């Protein structure tokens, strides 16, 4: 039995504006009806796999469980990293956690934002590496390249062969275009997919040999971790002592027991909008359009609207990426797709909220989005899941008016509790202690009008919260 370990704490800045720090690409439905995270979890489920171990951060913990529930997967453990320290501490933490129950077990580590359409072929590749992993090898998976890609790292094989597994000679950093073309022609190089298979015991021994300074703080961080509503919060004090380092630099590039399984199936990490364009199946002119986009006399172009209220129209475009969101629009030359992260950096510098946050804000109980924002008022749409409840709270600077437009709300205002149905409203005075709940079996939606001198989300005093937020 193999325990999948899914890493899902990244921010995916190269897919801005659809992917942002508050809701990164792994949780978005970039292709099809499932998010990348859901697709990854489904791919690593079945008779050969144990319940997955998830590594994420506190902001995403409820998104993780909600999306897994939607596809019928119950996680074995959700480990909450206090802060991102790269992949080496995260993978070691998962190994030490799994070792408590299965010290001789196998673990398959994978990012949660990859696309692998042929799940059966991928499982066959995993099975091809099992014997090597059980024999004490650190197994990595390499993708057979079909173009001289400069956006990926490479794996150099000891020999050009289609057999699996094969010994790994060395890791290669992202190359320039000339080197990438030479490596493609040689047949001895694979793209580094960042997917690993090894026994828990072998990996821990590898850390003892090559990154022993990580063992003590990670081990203590796991031993002193605290359970919180079914999540395991890794101890922040010990975790802060961990070096910020990738598994490649910490262990893999130093080890001599490395094996590669080549994978010839379709694969992409959707590392940029050019990858989304390729994966979306361009037509004969190389054009990809979403439902609310229209291309006229365009070539090799991606036109995508993420809001039904925004129609994107391109005329005479060539090699252009256009992605429209309610609050931001990206227009870029396809050859500059990897530079989208520069846009995020520039927006952060000018303190633009679009750099990291969406108008729609996901919460454990559902989500809300800001519809209109003025100097002393704000209008929001609030969606509350069936059976969910907001915290019991009050505000120093604002009052609120709630109008239910779908479902039924149970509303607490100081000592009064009432049911508010569609087309009914309630007023929450400044300073009143209040709570909003959905007692029904269908989503509840209301329009909230805030008025006051300060309307920030940090003007919340929580008295009770079923989700244990501070």
Give per-residue pLDDT as tens, 127-160. 999 999 999 999 999 999 989 988 889 999 988 7
Region 249-259: mean pLDDT is 93
- 147 and 81 within one domain: yes
b/e code 349-382 from CB counts within 10 Å (16+ = b) = eeeeebbbebbbbbbbbbebbbeeeeeeebebbb
- 383 and 330 within one domain: no
Instruction: Check whether 452 has a pLDDT greater than 80.
Output: yes
Convert the pLDDT of each residue in 59-95 to its tens digit. 899 999 999 999 999 988 999 999 999 999 999 999 9
- 374 and 283 within one domain: no
Instruction: Check whether 162 has a pLDDT greater than 80.
Output: no
Instruction: Check whether 105 has a pLDDT greater than 80.
Output: yes
- 378 and 334 within one domain: no
Quickly list DSSP for 124-185: HHHHHHHHHHHTT-EEEEEEPPSS--SSS-EEEESS--S-SSEEEEEEEPPP-HHHHHHHHH
Q: What is the pLDDT of residue 159?
A: 80
Instruction: Check whether 1 has a pLDDT greater than 90.
Output: no
- 277 and 255 within one domain: no
DSSP 115: B
For residue 454, being part of any structural domain is answered with: yes
For residue 240, being part of any structural domain is answered with: yes
Q: What is the pLDDT of residue 332?
A: 97
For residue 354, being part of any structural domain is answered with: no
- 145 and 294 within one domain: no
Region 407-414: mean pLDDT is 97
For residue 455, being part of any structural domain is answered with: yes
Instruction: Check whether 55 has a pLDDT greater than 90.
Output: yes
Q: What is the pLDDT of residue 470?
A: 64
For residue 469, being part of any structural domain is answered with: no
> Which of 233, 263, 293 is the last residue in one of the domains?
263
Six token digits for residue 238? 């010990």
pLDDT band for position 38 (cuts 50, 70, 90): very high
217: CATH: 3.90.550.10
Confidence (pTM) = 0.88
Convert the pLDDT of each residue in 322-353 to its tens digit. 999 999 999 999 999 989 999 999 999 999 99
- pLDDT > 70 fraction of the chain, expressed in percent and rounded: 100
- 222 and 329 within one domain: no
Question: Quick check: 394 and 433 in contact, CB under 8 A?
Answer: yes
Q: Which of 157-161, 162-166, 400-404 has the highest mean pLDDT?
A: 400-404
- 394 and 335 within one domain: no
- 277 and 258 within one domain: no
DSSP 267: -
For residue 150, being part of any structural domain is answered with: yes
Higher pLDDT, 10 or 274: 274
> Which of 263, 289, 314 is the last residue in one of the domains?
263
- 229 and 122 within one domain: yes
- 122 and 205 within one domain: yes
Domain housing 294: 273-347
Q: How many helices (H) and strands (E) does the chain have?
A: 11, 28
Number of other residues whose CB lies within 10 A of the CB of residue 262: 19
Number of residues written out for the chain: 470
Is the bond leading into 110 cis (omega within 30 degrees of zero)?
no
Distance CA 277, CA 110 (A): 23
For residue 355, being part of any structural domain is answered with: no
Residues 6 or more apart whose Cβ sits within 8 Å of residue 454: 396, 397, 398
Quickly list DSSP for 398-452: EEEEEEEEES-EEEEETTEEEEE-TT-EEEE-TT--EEEE--SSS-EEEEEEEEE
For residue 11, being part of any structural domain is answered with: yes
Structural domain count, the chain:
3
Distance CA 149, CA 181 (A): 8
448: CATH: 2.60.120.10
> Which of 304, 324, 347 is the last residue in one of the domains?
347
Question: Quick check: 331 and 340 in contact, CB under 8 A?
Answer: no
- 152 and 102 within one domain: yes
């Amino acid at each position: 039995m193999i325990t999948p370990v899914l890493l899902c704490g990244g921010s995916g800045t190269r897919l801005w504006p659809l992917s942002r720090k508050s809701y990164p690409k792994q949780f978005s439905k970039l292709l099809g009806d499932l998010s990348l995270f859901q697709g990854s979890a489904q791919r690593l489920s079945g008779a050969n796999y144990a319940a997955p171990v998830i590594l994420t951060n506190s902001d995403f913990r409820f998104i993780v469980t909600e999306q897994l529930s939607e596809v019928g997967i119950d996680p074995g453990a959700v480990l909450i990293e206090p802060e991102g320290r790269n992949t080496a501490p995260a993978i070691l933490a998962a190994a030490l956690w799994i070792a408590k129950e299965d010290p001789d077990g196998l673990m398959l580590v994978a990012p949660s934002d990859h696309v692998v359409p042929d799940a059966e072929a991928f499982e066959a590749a995993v099975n091809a590496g099992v014997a090597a992993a059980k024999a004490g090898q650190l197994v990595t998976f390499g993708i057979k390249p079909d173009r001289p890609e400069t956006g990926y790292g490479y794996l150099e094989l000891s020999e050009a062969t289609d057999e699996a597994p094969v010994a790994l000679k060395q890791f290669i950093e992202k190359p320039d275009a000339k080197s990438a073309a030479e490596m493609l022609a040689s047949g001895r190089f694979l793209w580094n997919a960042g997917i690993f298979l090894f026994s828990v015991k072998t990996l821990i021994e590898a850390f003892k040999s090559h990154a022993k300074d990580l063992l003590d703080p990670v081990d203590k961080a796991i031993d002193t971790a605290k359970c919180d509503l079914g999540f395991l919060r890794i101890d922040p004090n010990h975790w802060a002592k961990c070096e910020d380092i990738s598994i490649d630099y910490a262990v893999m590039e130093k080890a001599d027991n490395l094996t590669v399984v080549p994978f010839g199936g379709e694969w992409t990490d959707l590392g940029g909008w050019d990858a989304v364009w390729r994966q979306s199946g361009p037509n004969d002119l190389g054009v990809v359009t979403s439902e609310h986009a229209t291309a006229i006399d365009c070539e090799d172009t991606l036109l995508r609207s993420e809001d039904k209220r925004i129609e994107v129209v391109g005329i005479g475009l060539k090699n252009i990426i256009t992605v429209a969101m309610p609050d931001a629009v990206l227009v870029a030359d396809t050859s500059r797709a990897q530079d989208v992260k520069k846009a995020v950096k520039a927006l952060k510098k000018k303190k633009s909220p679009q750099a990291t946050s969406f108008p729609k804000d996901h919460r454990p109980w559902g989500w809300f989005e800001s519809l209109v924002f003025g100097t002393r008022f704000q209008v929001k749409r609030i969606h509350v899941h069936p059976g969910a409840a907001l915290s019991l709270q009050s505000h120093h600077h604002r009052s609120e008016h709630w109008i239910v437009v779908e479902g039924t709300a149970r509303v607490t205002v100081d000592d009064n509790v009432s049911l508010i149905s569609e087309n009914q409203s309630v007023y929450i005075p400044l300073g009143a202690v209040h709570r909003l709940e959905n007692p029904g079996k269908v989503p509840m939606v209301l329009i909230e009008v805030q008025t006051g001198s300060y309307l920030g989300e940090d003007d919340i005093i929580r008295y009770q919260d079923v989700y244990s937020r501070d």
